Structure 1
Amino acid sequence: MQYHRRQGGFVKLFGLIFVLVLIGGGIFMLSSDSFEKESPKISYKNPTIWNLKDSFFVGFTDDSGIREYSISINDNGSKIPLELVKEEATKCDIPVNTNNVCVSFKKPQQVKSSNESLELEVVAIDNSKWNFFSGNTTTENIKITIDAKNPQVAIVAHSYKITQGGSALVVFRAVDDNLDSIQITNGQYIFKPQPFYKDGFYISLVAWDKGESTFDGKIEVKDKAGNVSIVPINFYLQKRQYRDSTIPLTDNFIDGKITSLTQEIGERDISEFPNKVSLFKYINEEVRDYSFNRIYEVASVYDRDSIVSDFKINPFAPLKNPAVMASFGDSRSFSYQGEIVSRSNHMGLDIASIKQAPVISSNNGVVSLNEFVGIDGNAVVIYHGLGLSTLYAHLTSSNVGVGDEVFSGDIIANTGATGLALGDHLHFSVLIQGYEARTAEWMDKDWIRDNITDVILESKQIIDRL
């Protein structure tokens, strides 16, 4: 009897141990990364439109890693495996680690450019020991729309010429069922066109940076499949020579205007600068760059989606009977004790009249900036439409606020000497999508008629005939 009781005890103990092992094993399986239950994730371009020219990329991600993967074409019930090339994870826009896989494939022979679509079966199995060590499986069917046609682009009309440092206008048509992006480049800057007059037509002002010797104007249209059409804009290019000058710096100027402006900005203490040259370079270079970037930030943001039906602009004349103090495009070198220490470009027109002269808005617009901006001092920016803004700088005071609508003939401010200005005057700039352009053009009614107004009128007449 004692033997049987002892034997029964062993059986109970063994059973308890077995149950504990099962429970422990279950807990281990549920908590261990080796037995994770998450299925692999499959990522690909969305929307799924393919031009058959570029490679198509598919990414696989899983915490336990990818053990197997395959991609096949579903062709009337049969599956045709594709030859896959392993790629860097960044090409599939997935995290870079050893658990993830990125693959690509090129146009299969079975698929023609005339096909409207194709269907893929994508399978991925991870390294998990779940499902009795067989892992988790994801199967996904992907329907890809085929678009192998380039967008259609045709120029309707444009300004005859563009001058170095100046502006021009272009109107064109861009058509594609899967249109994605449209931009104009000049070899340096990018300009975004706006819808114009009727569906499928676009309009844009462009500018040629005065510091660039060439202008390579092109319209680039891209669709969602990655097809790209590039069309040159055949402006007549007119080179222009701008004035170079050397300005000697004096101790009085640095100790006076430069020091006081640094203190007014308040970003750095005068004691931080080891010498007078470094103090001047801070204002002329670092603060100047800040001022440019701030003005660009404001003038480059506007409604680009609303259709432009017309655009009328008066010649700008911000002061009555002004005297010109400095012209657009002047290149300035600054010397101290006989040595060139800094350079800058004057990208506006300096004009002066009486002190505290009223500043006039020559055109309707909306105020997009009214604040103290580095070397520009108290400044106002007005947006006039079609990417065109104007800057009024060195003001003593202004009569407008951000968001205010102004009209032709309104007095918006008074001239002054704030910022980097030695005497009372107005710094006036014209901005094309945030980039400075030659002011003289926009103050000339004949230039505006020939290069803007007539081009828009001609474009509308052509579009009406199409």
Structure 2
Amino acid sequence: MKRLVFGVFLILALAGGAAGYLLLTDRGKPEIALSPESDVAAPKREFTLTLRDASSGLKSAKVVVTQADKQITLLDTTYANPVRDAVEKFTLEPAGLRDGPFTLAITATDRSIANFGAGNTTSVTRQYTLDTTPPRVDVTSLAHNVRQGGVGAVSFSVSEAPESAGVVVGDDFYPAYKLENGKYFGFYVFPYNMDPKNFVPKVKVTDKAGNIGVASFRYQAIPRKFRQDKLNISDNFLDSKMPQYYDIITDTRDNLQIYLKVNNDIRRQNSVFLKELAKKSAPTMLWDKKAFLRLPNAAPRAGFGDHRTYMYQNREIDQQTHMGVDLASLEGAPVPAANTGKVVFAGFLGIYGETVIIDHGLGLQTLYAHLRQIDVKVGQDIKKGEVLGKTGVSGLAAGDHLHFGVLVDGQETSPIEWWDQHWIDDNILSKL
């Protein structure tokens, strides 16, 4: 009998050539990874099962949940064709489990004809505890007055250590940070382009099982109007400014087309970068709790939220919104750090040109753009008032000035309120 089986295998290997030989000699088992890795779970928590078999490919995968004498199959998949990688998602909801311990048994089998044609199988068993009780959230701060385009802050307590905690505004989530007193504190933004009727901030906390606790709080949304502006784009401007982007945009040398790509595509890429950079924010406050400095002896040239229509040869070519405040004083003026923190970026950044970004902790960062000279390095601790560079015309700047921005979780907000100690005391420090 053993000779007969071996003969069959040999014939298959010879008939299939390299593929048959691979199926016959493959002794590697499928790889299994399951996330999240927490040992507690809620019925609606989505599990992600990642499978891989680089040799003969995957044949099937199965997930079975067991609690006491109850056994339910949550996933039973057969792959019609060889699959090297597969991702499957499932929840516990169909199982109807009760709170308490349960077991997940996962098996994955490849298409090898090893083990007398049964293939190689990997089995993984995980122990969990089902938790269906959402975390309790108590908002402890008062008087949440938020201007459109500006920043709010909230503090709250949570009944258990969360997996994540923060404030939800529309589709945006602003993370909160645990303070030394055990409470959580978080900034959030009233977006400049959000209808005040749709501004409904809420605290959202997710526990380690995946249960979600939501808490509303009283707030006052203060609407404001933003200026409309027109900017003329000249050929002289395009000829002088676009060459700095030639290494970034290589598919055309039409300066107008390069400008439109920079003002749109590169601008969007910059926004994504700022959101990623915000993840490096320190979990503690780094600034001195005093009003932020502004460029000395500087006159404002453009405001936050200015809606710009760009004109070229008397025709409209684009529309964008200015997300910061432009300040101009002397050409090449020294630029002081608005407050104490750590330099997290120093270099060329798309529309902003030569740029420095300082992290002040808890998701708060300041941005200094269009510089001609940078005098700091990434990772450097910097004190309030310390010179970080000089104003210039890099990026899309038409004249020597500083573009100053205040970011919360990577989103630019109105800097003006951060220059006001009274606003800081009432709206930020009172929440701490």
The two structures have a TM-score, normalised by structure 2, of: 0.79
Q: Report the equivalent of 2:306.
A: 330
Label 1:327 to 1:226 Cα distance change in 2 as closer, same or farther (>3 A): same
1:236 paired residue number: 220
Partner secondary structure for residue 241 of structure 1: coil
- Going by fraction, where is strand more abundant, 1 or 2? 2
CA distance, structure 2, for counterparts of residue 343 and residue 155 of structure 1: 40
Select the residue among 73, 77, 85 that pairs with 1:84: 73
Q: CA deviation at 1:396?
A: 2.3
Residues 74-114 of structure 1, C-alpha deviation per residue, up to 9 Å, x if partnerless?
Answer: 64xxxx45353556789xxx9777xx9988765667x543x
CA distance in 1, matches of 2:267, 2:90: 47
Q: Please, which of 260, 264, 282 is the counterpart of residue 244 of structure 2?
A: 264
Q: 1:208 aligns to what?
A: 190
- Contact 1:370 1:379 survives alignment (8 Å): yes
Q: Is the partner of 1:289 in helix, strand or coil? A: helix
- In structure 2, the residue matched to 1:190 is 173
Residues 26-63 of structure 1: CA deviation (Å, up to 9, x unaligned)? 86799684898778888766444333466889899996
Aligned-residue Cα RMSD (Å) equals 4.1
Q: Distance in 1 between matches of 2:278 and 2:48?
A: 38
For structure 2, list consecutive stretches of 5 or more residues without a partner in the other structure: 14-20
* Residue 333 of structure 1, CA deviation: 0.3
Is the contact made by 1:219 and 1:232 (CA closer than 8 Å) also made in structure 2?
A: yes
Aligned to 1:280: 259
Q: 2:354 matched to 1:363? A: no
- Which of 48, 51, 68 in structure 1 is aligned with 2:42? 51
Q: Deviations over 1:244-295 (max 9, x none)?
A: 122233xxx32x2222222123226799255x64343233223433444444
The size of the alignment, in residue pairs, is: 417
Aligned residue identity for 1:82: Q
Q: Which residue of 2 aligns with 1:224?
A: 208
Seen in structure 2, the aligned counterparts of structure 1 residues 26 and 202 have a Cα distance that, compared at 3 Å, is: same
Counterparts of 1:39-438 in structure 2 under 5 Å?
46-52=37-43, 71=64, 73=66, 75=68, 80=69, 82-84=71-73, 86=75, 106=93, 112-113=98-99, 116-119=100-103, 142-157=126-141, 160-176=144-160, 179-199=162-182, 201-213=183-195, 214-249=198-233, 253-254=234-235, 256-267=236-247, 272-273=252-253, 277-304=256-283, 312-438=288-414
Q: CA deviation at 1:428?
A: 1.1
With over 3 angstroms needed to count, the CA separation of the structure-2 counterparts of 1:104 and 1:278, relative to structure 1, is closer
Assess, with a 3 A threshold, how the Cα gap between structure 1 residues 291 and 58 changes in structure 2: closer, same or farther. closer
1: CA distance between counterparts of 2:373 and 2:50? 58
Distance verdict in 2 for CA 1:408–1:121, change over 3 Å: closer
Q: Distance in 2 between matches of 1:291 and 1:123?
A: 44
After superposition, what is the alpha-carbon deviation per residue over 1:185-211, rounded to whole angstroms, capped at 9, x for unaligned? Answer: 211422121111223x21111122212
Structure 1 residues 240, 106: CA separation in 2 closer, same or farther (over 3 Å shift)?
closer
Q: Percent identity?
A: 26
Q: Deviations over 1:145-197 (max 9, x none)?
A: 121211121111155211110011111112336x3222322114221211112
CA contact (8 A) 2:371 2:389 kept: yes
Amino acid aligned to 1:151: P
